Copies of this chain bind each other. A is one copy, B any other.
Amino acid sequence: MMLKELRDEVYEANMDLPKHGLVVFTWGNASGLDRERGLFVIKPSGVSYEELSPENLVVCDLDGNVVEGELNPSSDTPTHACLYRAWGDKIGGIVHTHSTHAVSWAQAGRSIPCYGTTHADYFYGDIPCVRSLTKGEVESAYELETGNVIVEGFANLDPIAVPGTLLHNHGPFSWGKDAMAAVYHAVVIEEVAKMATLTELNNPKVQEAPQYLQDKHYMRKHGPNAYYGQGNH
């Protein structure tokens, strides 16, 4: 069986989704990339988290074809493949969920403004809401076009500085250096989405946080002079 270590990591990432309250039933999936081999490991479609194991994950190539696995891969596989083709040099893990608050912003068709440092610590600027797919896109290669719409929406954004997005009328996608980092960003999106709704309730005229504060917090954790944590970044 291929990619034992990556299977274990992607299994852990998938299991963390219900643990963090991001997923009910099978409404979510995580994948992880083996950049050298040009393969990624992803959750099988419609399989419950109780039945999941490192062994029944599916290995796909970057065109989304199954390379190893008995089960059908997640129906979102062409989306994952598309993002790895576009950004595989920068990202190594992808997560998609239907977490409650993130979905509610995606359904509202709004990007999440940066109202404070919780957001600024992980996302540089808005968490963007990319456009809904057209009729033509939905009716042709829906999941592939989902990936294309995300890549299009990031034409002027760095997927490292903005490690996730909302797809209008759908929900959140996130990514990171590996599958666990993508899970982490999925948690951040959900928490920040909830805070932003409450912030606007508490002050309908609220403004975004000052740009210099956004710069500071992002750079404190991610820039060349980062000083948060134990230096192992």
- List chain A positions with a Cβ less than 8 A from chain B: 20, 24-25, 27, 44-47, 71-72, 75, 98, 100-101, 103-110, 115-118, 132-133, 135, 138-139, 142, 169-171, 184, 187, 191, 194-203, 206, 209-210, 212-213, 216, 220, 227-231
**Which 8 pairs show the lowest CB-CB distances between chains A and B?**
A46-B229, A104-B198, A108-B203, A108-B202, A107-B115, A107-B199, A107-B116, A169-B209
B117 touches A202 (CB 8 A): no
Apart from A71-B230, A117-B169: 6 A-B pairs, beta carbons within 8 A: A75-B227, A108-B115, A108-B200, A138-B210, A197-B201, A200-B201
With A47-B230, A191-B100 already in contact, the answer to whether A108 and B199 are too (CB < 8 A) is yes
In the complex, chain B residues whose CB is within 8 Å of the CB of A197: 198, 201-202
Min distance, Cβ A169 to any Cβ of chain B, angstroms: 4
**If the complex has contacts A138-B212, A198-B101, A210-B169, are A45 and B229 also in contact, measured as CB distance less than 8 A?**
yes
Quick check: B202 and A24 within 8 Å, CB to CB? no
**Nearest-Cβ distance from residue A210 to partner chain B, whole angstroms:** 6
Q: Which residues of B contact A184 (CB under 8 A)?
A: 25
A106 touches B116 (CB 8 A): yes
For the complex, give the distance between the alpha carbons of A106 and B203 in Å: 10
User: B195 near A103 (CB under 8 angstroms)?
Assistant: yes
Note all chain B residues with C-beta closer than 8 A to A132: 209-210, 213
> Which partner residue on chain B sits nearest A74 by CB separation?
B228
A202 CA / B129 CA spacing, docked (Å):
13
Q: Which of B116, B195, B231 contacts A72 (CB 8 A)?
A: B231
> How far apart are the CA atoms of A100 and B24 in the complex, in Å?
17
Contacts A/B (CB < 8 Å), 19 sampled: A24-B191, A45-B228, A45-B229, A45-B230, A46-B228, A47-B230, A72-B231, A103-B116, A104-B199, A107-B196, A108-B115, A108-B203, A109-B203, A116-B171, A118-B171, A138-B212, A138-B216, A139-B216, A197-B201
Q: Which residue of B lies closest to A133 (CB)?
A: B213
